[in-house]
């Protein structure tokens, strides 16, 4: 496994750094630094997306013929690492990272021509209609009904935990088209317009006091069959395709940068126990980077990430939660103050307590879900037990 950067990779790394110095504004960097969740408000992500789109760098994993930059796996890793270290706001993943690749893999020529340019530009902002009140980890039990009616499906039911549905104008959605079939065999994958009559979006306010999640209700919603991705009743295959590489992508650089800032603050406290804990977490980050590099080496050789992707998902989310817990410990009582006004990147509100820890509590509360979303860590351990240990 050769992991040293080649001269070409070093040259590319310098190109990315120069681009970030020239284009990442203080406001956009503040949005990345003050993020309390994976999802950042589109008032910051969309301007950054337009900047990246103009450079041709907005979709690192897309094939070049569909608007991707044509990078190697190492270049993608370098780009993810450098943007995270610079504090760039993460782009909304539902379009670029999830439904876009699905449309490339399963879409008709007409669907590709219509949707892909709008995803790249940010003209379409997507949300994901997967979970339901009784179908979360057991997604195959979903019940949102889609009844065929001529050239349309008529949808009735609900989706929940729908991130940024209040911002989205599009949704990719799993629906039940054959209730008599085995659970995975009666599901269809649909692309739909959120402005369609009969769709109602109700906010869900998180423990952190933020409006990120929603429940979406469908009451006789008519969706054209031209929005179906893949074949009817084969939506489970499309959904699995979407998740195939989701857990293995990205970089731990953002986590490393956050821990570095926490380390600098803790060092000023003179607390030996907190310093010891911070050092232990830094060691765990090095282990995560080793896993990332093993996956990078495998994918660069044309191999799938395999169970290592599940290992990486567990390592990242559990370390993220450990960093959050340590931030709360470092902040003490001041970390418990509810002060979302001070978290907004354009706010002039002075925080209570140290500025370095103003996001500690909302991040702690939001990131409790990290070990559940994207496939719970218990499920990932089952994959490892089967794929590595043969259990």
Catalytic residues: 246
Q: What is the 3-state secondary structure (H, E, C) of 154-166?
A: EEEEEECCCCCCC
Q: With beta carbons less than 8 A apart as the criterion, state whether 97 and 141 touch.
A: no
Three-state secondary structure call for residue 300:
helix
Q: How many residues does the chain have?
A: 391
Q: How far are the Cα atoms of 243, 282, 319, 322, 387 from residue 308, in angstroms, in the given order?
A: 15, 20, 16, 21, 9
Are 359 and 35 in contact by the 8 Å Cβ rule? The answer is yes
Question: Contact 145/78 with Cβ under 8 angstroms?
Answer: no
Q: Which of 238, 201, 236 lies closest to 217 in space, CA to CA?
A: 201
Nearest to 228 by CA among 80, 86, 84, 108: 108
CB 135 within 8 A of CB 142: yes
CB 183 within 8 A of CB 140: yes
Helices (H), the chain: 7-23, 26-33, 42-55, 73-86, 93, 100-106, 109-121, 235-243, 253-269, 272-300, 307-331, 360-366, 377-387
Cα 130 versus chain centre, distance: 14
Print the SS3 string covering 337-357.
CCCHHHCCCCCCCCCCCCHHH
Cβ burial, residue 206 (10 Å; 0-12/13-18/19+): middle
Strand pairing category for 170-176 and 152-159: unpaired
For the stretch 291-322, what's the b/e string if a residue is b when 16 or more beta carbons lie within 10 angstroms of its beta carbon?
A: bbebbbebbeeeeebbbbbbbbbbbbbebbbe
């Amino acid at each position: 496994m050769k992991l040293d950067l080649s001269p070409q990779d070093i040259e590319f790394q310098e190109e990315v750094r120069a681009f970030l110095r020239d284009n990442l504004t203080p406001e956009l960097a503040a949005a990345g630094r003050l993020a309390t969740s994976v999802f950042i408000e589109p008032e910051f992500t969309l301007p950054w997306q337009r900047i990246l789109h103009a450079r041709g760098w907005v979709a690192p994993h897309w094939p070049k013929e569909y608007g991707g930059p044509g990078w190697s796996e190492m270049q993608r890793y370098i780009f993810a690492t450098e943007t995270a270290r610079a504090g760039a706001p993460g782009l909304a993943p539902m379009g670029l990272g999830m439904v876009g690749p699905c449309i490339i893999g399963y879409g008709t020529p007409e669907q590709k021509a219509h949707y892909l340019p709008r995803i790249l530009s940010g003209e379409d902002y997507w949300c994901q209609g997967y979970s339901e009140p009784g179908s979360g980890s057991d997604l195959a039990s979903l019940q949102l009904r889609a009844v065929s009616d001529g050239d349309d499906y008529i949808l009735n039911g609900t989706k929940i935990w729908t991130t940024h549905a209040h911002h989205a104008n599009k949704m990719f959605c799993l629906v039940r088209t054959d209730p008599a079939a085995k659970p995975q065999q009666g599901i269809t994958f649909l692309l739909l317009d959120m402005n369609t009559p009969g769709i109602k979006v109700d906010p869900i306010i998180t423990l952190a006091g933020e409006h990120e999640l929603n429940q979406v209700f469908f009451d006789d919603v008519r969706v054209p069959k031209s929005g179906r991705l893949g074949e009817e009743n084969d939506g489970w295959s499309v959904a699995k395709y979407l998740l195939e590489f989701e857990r293995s992508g990205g970089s731990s650089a953002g986590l490393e940068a956050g821990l570095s800032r926490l380390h600098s603050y803790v060092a000023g406290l003179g607390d030996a126990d907190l310093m010891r804990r911070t050092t232990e977490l830094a060691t765990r980050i090095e282990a995560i980077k080793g896993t990332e590099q093993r996956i990078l080496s495998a994918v660069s050789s044309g191999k799938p990430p395999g169970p290592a992707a599940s290992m990486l998902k567990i390592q990242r989310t559990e370390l993220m939660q450990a960093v959050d817990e340590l931030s709360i410990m470092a902040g003490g009582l001041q970390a418990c103050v509810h002060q979302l006004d001070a978290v907004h990147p354009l706010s002039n509100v002075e925080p209570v307590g140290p500025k370095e820890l103003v996001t500690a509590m909302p991040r702690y509360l939001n990131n409790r879900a990290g070990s559940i979303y994207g496939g719970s860590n218990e499920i990932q351990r089952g994959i490892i037990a089967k794929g590595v240990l043969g259990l």
